Amino acid sequence: MRDEPRAEPSVRSPPRVRVRWWIFLYLFGFGFVVYFQQRGITVASYQMMPQLHLTQEQIGWLLWWMLLGYTALQFPGGVIGQRVGARRTFVIISLLAFAATLGTPLLPLLLTGAALFAALLATQLLLGASQGPVFPVSAGVFETWFPARQWPLVQGLQSMGLQLGAAITAPLIASLMSSFGWQRALAWSALPVLALIGGWAWYGRDTPREHPAVTEAELAELGPVAERVDHAISWQRVWELMRNRDVLALTASYICMNYVFYLLANWSFLYLVQERHFTVLESGWLASTPPLAAAIGAGVGGQLASVLGERYGVRTGLRIIPLLSLPAAGVLQFAAVDATNPYLAVVALALCFAAVELNEGPYWAAIMHVGRSDAMAAGGLLNTGGNLGGLICTPIVAYLSGHQAWTPAFLIGMGFAAVSAALWLIVDPTRAATPGAAPASVAAASS
Question: Is a pLDDT exceeding 80 seen at residue 242?
Answer: yes
Under a CB-based contact definition with an 8 Å cutoff, are residues 174 and 283 in contact? yes
Question: Is a pLDDT exceeding 70 seen at residue 444?
Answer: no
Burial 349-386 (b: 16+ CB within 10 A, else e): bbbbbbbbbbbbbbbbbbbbbbbbbbbbbbbbbbbbbb
Burial grade of 57 (CB within 10 A; 0-12, 13-18, 19 or more): middle
Please give the model's pTM, rounded to 2 decimal places: 0.83
Under a CB-based contact definition with an 8 Å cutoff, are residues 131 and 123 in contact? no
The residues spanned by each domain of the chain are: 19-426
Q: Per-residue pLDDT averaged across 241-262, rounded? A: 94
Cβ-based neighbour number of residue 118 at 10 Å: 12
pLDDT at 228: 53
**Interval 289-345: pLDDT, tens:** 777 888 999 999 999 999 999 999 999 999 999 999 999 999 998 888 787 787 888
Contacts of 164 (CB under 8 A, 6+ apart): 32, 291, 292, 295
The CATH superfamily of 19-426 is MFS general substrate transporter like domains (1.20.1250.20)
Distance CA 333, CA 237 (A): 40
Under a CB-based contact definition with an 8 Å cutoff, are residues 75 and 137 in contact? no
pLDDT at 361: 96
pLDDT at 227: 54
Band (7; pLDDT cuts 50, 70, 90): very low
What share of the chain has pLDDT > 90, as a percent?
56
Question: Is a pLDDT exceeding 70 seen at residue 3?
Answer: no
Cα dihedral 298, 303, 304, 309 in deg (nearest 10): 120
Question: Is a pLDDT exceeding 90 seen at residue 164?
Answer: no
**Interval 52-92: pLDDT, tens:** 999 888 988 998 899 899 989 999 999 999 989 999 999 99
Band (284; pLDDT cuts 50, 70, 90): low
Question: Is a pLDDT exceeding 60 seen at residue 230?
Answer: no
**Interval 80-133: pLDDT, tens:** 999 899 999 999 999 999 999 999 999 999 999 999 999 999 999 999 999 999
Question: Is a pLDDT exceeding 70 seen at residue 229?
Answer: no
Distance CA 171, CA 173 (A): 6
Band (4; pLDDT cuts 50, 70, 90): very low
Under a CB-based contact definition with an 8 Å cutoff, are residues 228 and 144 in contact? yes
